[in-house]
Structure 1
Amino acid sequence: MSGIGLEISKYLEEDSVTGTFKAYGYAGLVGAGPWVLPILGILLIGFVEVAWQGSSYLQSFTTSVSWLVGASLILTGLLQLAFTRFVTNRLFESNERLINPNLLGVMFLTTVASGLIGCVFSLFLFSQPLSNEILMIACFAVLSNVWMVGLFVSGLKRFKLMLVAFAIGYLTTMIMALSLMSFGLNGLLAGLLIGHAVLLFLLLALVMPSYPLILQPRFDFLNLRLIFPSLIAIGCLYNIGIWVDKLIFSLHPATSERVIGPMRESQIYDIPMFLAYLSVVPGIVVFFLRIETDFARAYERFFQAVKGNASLQEIEMLGCRIVESVRDGLRQIIRVQGATVLVLILLGPSLIEWLGVSSQYLPIYYICLLGVGAQVLILAVLNVLVYLDKLDDALKLTALMGITNLVFSLVSVRMGPDYYGYGFGLSMTLTAVVGIALLFKELENIEFRTFMRPRPVRANISAWESP
């Protein structure tokens, strides 16, 4: 966290309007850029495709992309946090020789898993042309690897280069998809595949030279002594919690339609949800400015004081600063995201009309705005809990998020159109409230909890040592 915080702090220390704008702009680009760029890229492809050839393939393409992204995030969620922790512990013990081999190992495992899952779905659920199925499986595998490798770039604190890589990757996606558009859906998927392959290789080019270039894959990250199983569950449940309501609305016959193969789309839910998610940019900016900056720096000072045998009074003072930084960060997220939601609710009718979207989506849009606002708070709370190594609480929170979103969304579908979106909104709000309560409970007596933390298990590196 502290890497981006140091960069932002340089701008804030200028103590000027220009410096403040630079800080907010940088936080916005780094925090929201990697997911805003894909959205803008797919939107541009859609607009051009409609203008040139009509919308014959657009719905099939956007539906395919939605399912590919959701499925790849849920799949890689099983390994993302656990593998990141494995790498962090190896770096803490100066065991960098294990990084690249295990990166290759996790990429191999990800590719095999996504390929096998794709083949099973292709054989038993799809009846599309073989070329289409091959492209879907390839896109699924490449996307899954992009999510895994992207974590390393963040860990290296190369946020600017990561943003540049995403920009180049999605620019390539747009150029290739539009160039191959004459080949129909397969051309659009081929463009998506080429663009993400370019992005993947760019991310690898940023990561691998930073560690010893040992290219023999290893699977130490699967050693139960070196990983945290709770992180596997947290990563999986978090992504399920985000996607389960979309899945329910996409699969229910009353709220969706079949588009391509078994893949369905719920326009009445997806469109307002998509618009609502664009509203999180201000909240993400504040999250990066306050949680990634103030909290990260406060915790770093606290941890260094503990390691450096500082006095109890100094440690307690630094512990209080951690609590203050978290409280101030959450308060500012609530203020900024709340103001954003209020403005967008007031502008809702005009925005919907300007976009040419039916006014029937407005009630769902309003509820989704509240839900995604609460989701920003959940993201902040989970970041702090995992940073503090409070994995049991993070697991409880993600389980609550997944279960309530599943149950509430099922109930809202059964209750009818007037209640669409309420399941997601209530689930995120409840999870955010419970998460904040859990977080501040854990921050009590942080000095004692820090001293009682278990030390990470050191990896056996004898295989790498010279004879």
Structure 2
Amino acid sequence: MAGIGFSLNRLFQKKGVLNLCRAYAYAGAVAIGPMVMGVCLLIGISFVSQVAGMPQNEREIMNCMLTYSLLVSLFVSSFFNMILTRYISDMLYEGKRERVMPSFFGALAIMLPICFVGYGIFLTFSGVPIVYRIVSMWFAMIMIVVWTQMNYLSALKDYRSIALGFASSMLTGFLLALVLAMIRRGTVLSLMFCVIFAYGIMGTWYLILMLGYFPHGKGSPFTYLRWFDKCRALAFTGVFVNLGLYGHLMIMYFGPLHRRIMGLFFAAPSYDIPSLTAFFSILITTISFVTSVEVRFYPEYRQYYSLFNDKGSISDIEAAEDRMVEVLSRELSYCGCRQIVSTVLFVVFGGFIMDILPLGMMDLGKGIFRTLCVGYGLYAIANALMLILLYFEDYTGSVAATGAFALVANSITIWQAARGDTAYYGWGFMAGAIVYFIIALLRLEWSTRRLPYLLLGRQSAASAQDSGPFTSLENILTRIDKRSKISDKMARPVLMDGSRKAVRPRRK
């Protein structure tokens, strides 16, 4: 989490309630700050649209454009994110920092065209004005850049600059929207531009941080594609998590609760609002997992693995393994207990808070909210277990757990949307979360009993997978990239000293 563990260690070592509160505040600012501030920006833009006097149908189409673009960017980047994270960590471990930045541009060179073609086909037949299609595509492509940058920022260990960039960009976008509303220029296009401008500032800020930390690029920008053949299950893990987490929302857009906003843009406010509100119940688990993993579990994990590299004795390895598993079990138990308390509080007091807030939620929405609170709570605990599986490189277990989660959650939700009673909406996601939790827990229990085998027995099998469709694709794209560089170089005239300069166009 952007190096926050180093600061947390110093704060947790100090005694006193104030230092403990500061430590959890730091963890919260980095772990959930970006998500909370992003949601606050979207809520703020919605509030500004009301202040500006925009008609309700225009506010709804703007919300649909933002939601659809966010979901598209998440799904496109989900197939690459975990592979890029693994590739970056491998390059840093091998001391090849110069190979990191080319992978960023190589990933964007593939993801952006995929988004442009796939989302472009939908927008072409969406039935909305062409200017709405342009800004929707623009926002989706900027978000792909930002989601991809998140994979690289954790290596910087400069969470202050990262948090400052996020806060300043979000605040700039909101203030710009507020100014436009005050001068009566608040329209769908102008407010969409404010959101795009905010995330554009953030992407530029993060790119400057990345270029300042990583050295000048060297090597092919498509080398990371080989990691898809080496860690294929890891790529599908990211896809399945997003399918399970957001798939039920998209299915409800075409169920009995849906409303046609414009063309192919649908919404289900009776399901969206309870889902977003219930999602906040897992924030405590996110903070708890960061403090547990970064501060307590990771030192034991690193010590255990270093004994294999440093030729530790068998007795030392077994003792380190026992300590690591004990710490892991204790911290995961604490994490689960905190989530149970958070879920109970949201279920008990959430209905009263919704009656106070102007959300317009009826009894159906409150029932969906309570069901999704339980579902998101189980998802949060299961996701923590899955992330520990990734620590132990149990990619088979992680893809099995996440795949079952996506399959069960979406299958039952589709059945409910087609035939189910509206009173039981949300149970599909909760059922998927239950399956996710059970499989992840059983697999983690199985893995912790076979750690030496997972560490040593699978190394040769993993290193042997050096060929596959993505490796062939990498070779093709690398040859194309080299040819384009040679053509660009040959197009420059040769000087007396043998160097080349850029060609400047003649004036007529």
Q: Normalising by the residue count of structure 1, what TM-score does the alignment of the two structures yield?
A: 0.93
Q: Deviations over 1:61-120 (max 9, x none)?
A: 222211111111111001011111112112221112211112111122222221222322
Secondary structure, counterpart of 1:79 in structure 2: helix
Q: Superposed, which structure 2 residues align to 1:216-365 within 5 Å? A: 218-223=221-226, 227-252=230-255, 254-356=256-358, 357-360=360-363, 361-365=365-369
Secondary structure, counterpart of 1:258 in structure 2: strand
How far the C-alpha of 1:408 sits from its partner, in A, is: 1.7
Partner of 2:432: 427
Given that residues 101 and 216 in structure 1 are in contact (C-alpha distance below 8 angstroms), is that contact kept between their aligned partners in structure 2? yes
Unaligned runs of 5+ residues in structure 1 are: none
1:375 aligns with 2:376: no
How far the C-alpha of 1:371 sits from its partner, in A, is: 0.9
Bigger CA drift: 111-120 or 438-447? 111-120
Q: Superposed, which structure 2 residues align to 1:61-210 within 5 Å? A: 61-123=62-124, 125-181=125-181, 182=185, 184-210=187-213
Bigger CA drift: 153-162 or 132-141? 153-162
How far the C-alpha of 1:36 sits from its partner, in A, is: 0.6
How far the C-alpha of 1:267 sits from its partner, in A, is: 1.0
Equivalent position amino acid for 1:387 in 2 = Y
* Distance in 1, Cα, partners of 2:105 & 2:260: 38
Using the aligned pairs only, state the percent identity: 19
How far the C-alpha of 1:55 sits from its partner, in A, is: 4.9
How far the C-alpha of 1:322 sits from its partner, in A, is: 2.0
1:3 aligns with 2:6: no
Q: Deviations over 1:290-336 (max 9, x none)?
A: 12322222111111111111111111111112212221222112211
Partner of 1:43: 43
* Distance in 1, Cα, partners of 2:254 & 2:440: 30
Bigger CA drift: 159-168 or 412-421? 159-168
Equivalent position amino acid for 1:403 in 2 = L
Change (3 A) 1:365 1:225: closer
When the two structures are aligned, how many residues end up with a matched partner? 460
How far the C-alpha of 1:349 sits from its partner, in A, is: 2.6
Secondary structure, counterpart of 1:415 in structure 2: coil
How far the C-alpha of 1:141 sits from its partner, in A, is: 0.6
Secondary structure, counterpart of 1:195 in structure 2: helix
Partner of 1:408: 412
Bigger CA drift: 169-178 or 365-374? 169-178
* Distance in 2, Cα, partners of 1:299 & 1:216: 32
How far the C-alpha of 1:54 sits from its partner, in A, is: 4.7
Partner of 1:31: 31
* Distance in 1, Cα, partners of 2:157 & 2:331: 21
Given that residues 110 and 145 in structure 1 are in contact (C-alpha distance below 8 angstroms), is that contact kept between their aligned partners in structure 2? no
Bigger CA drift: 31-40 or 155-164? 155-164
Partner of 2:402: 398
Q: Deviations over 1:435-461 (max 9, x none)?
A: 111111101131332222416759999
How far the C-alpha of 1:130 sits from its partner, in A, is: 1.8
Q: Deviations over 1:333-374 (max 9, x none)?
A: 221111111112221231111113333111111111111111
* Distance in 2, Cα, partners of 1:388 & 1:370: 28
Equivalent position amino acid for 1:335 in 2 = C
Partner of 1:452: 457
* Distance in 2, Cα, partners of 1:99 & 1:332: 36
Change (3 A) 1:36 1:7: same
Given that residues 282 and 337 in structure 1 are in contact (C-alpha distance below 8 angstroms), is that contact kept between their aligned partners in structure 2? yes
* Distance in 1, Cα, partners of 2:117 & 2:180: 27
Change (3 A) 1:55 1:436: farther
Change (3 A) 1:217 1:280: same
Given that residues 72 and 115 in structure 2 are in contact (C-alpha distance below 8 angstroms), is that contact kept between their aligned partners in structure 1? no
Partner of 1:385: 389
* Distance in 1, Cα, partners of 2:160 & 2:4: 9
Q: Deviations over 1:4-37 (max 9, x none)?
A: 3232121111021011101111111111111111
Given that residues 378 and 433 in structure 2 are in contact (C-alpha distance below 8 angstroms), is that contact kept between their aligned partners in structure 1? yes
* Distance in 2, Cα, partners of 1:198 & 1:75: 22
Secondary structure, counterpart of 2:276 in structure 1: helix
* Distance in 1, Cα, partners of 2:413 & 2:323: 39
Secondary structure, counterpart of 1:259 in structure 2: strand
Given that residues 226 and 457 in structure 1 are in contact (C-alpha distance below 8 angstroms), is that contact kept between their aligned partners in structure 2? no
Given that residues 254 and 266 in structure 2 are in contact (C-alpha distance below 8 angstroms), is that contact kept between their aligned partners in structure 1? yes
Given that residues 349 and 359 in structure 1 are in contact (C-alpha distance below 8 angstroms), is that contact kept between their aligned partners in structure 2? no
* Distance in 1, Cα, partners of 2:188 & 2:94: 49
Given that residues 225 and 457 in structure 1 are in contact (C-alpha distance below 8 angstroms), is that contact kept between their aligned partners in structure 2? no
Change (3 A) 1:147 1:225: closer
Change (3 A) 1:355 1:6: same
Secondary structure, counterpart of 1:223 in structure 2: helix
Given that residues 270 and 361 in structure 2 are in contact (C-alpha distance below 8 angstroms), is that contact kept between their aligned partners in structure 1? no
Bigger CA drift: 288-297 or 364-373? 288-297
Partner of 1:436: 441
Change (3 A) 1:382 1:112: same
Bigger CA drift: 156-165 or 333-342? 156-165
* Distance in 1, Cα, partners of 2:229 & 2:101: 16
Change (3 A) 1:457 1:176: farther
Secondary structure, counterpart of 2:3 in structure 1: helix
How far the C-alpha of 1:236 sits from its partner, in A, is: 1.1
Secondary structure, counterpart of 1:212 in structure 2: coil
How far the C-alpha of 1:269 sits from its partner, in A, is: 0.8
Q: Deviations over 1:218-249 (max 9, x none)?
A: 21112368742222211111111111100110
Q: Deviations over 1:142-166 (max 9, x none)?
A: 1011101111102333333222222
Equivalent position amino acid for 2:389 in 1 = L
Bigger CA drift: 76-85 or 257-266? 257-266
Secondary structure, counterpart of 1:264 in structure 2: strand
Bigger CA drift: 99-108 or 399-408? 99-108
Given that residues 75 and 144 in structure 1 are in contact (C-alpha distance below 8 angstroms), is that contact kept between their aligned partners in structure 2? yes
How far the C-alpha of 1:400 sits from its partner, in A, is: 0.5
* Distance in 2, Cα, partners of 1:10 & 1:82: 32
Equivalent position amino acid for 2:416 in 1 = S
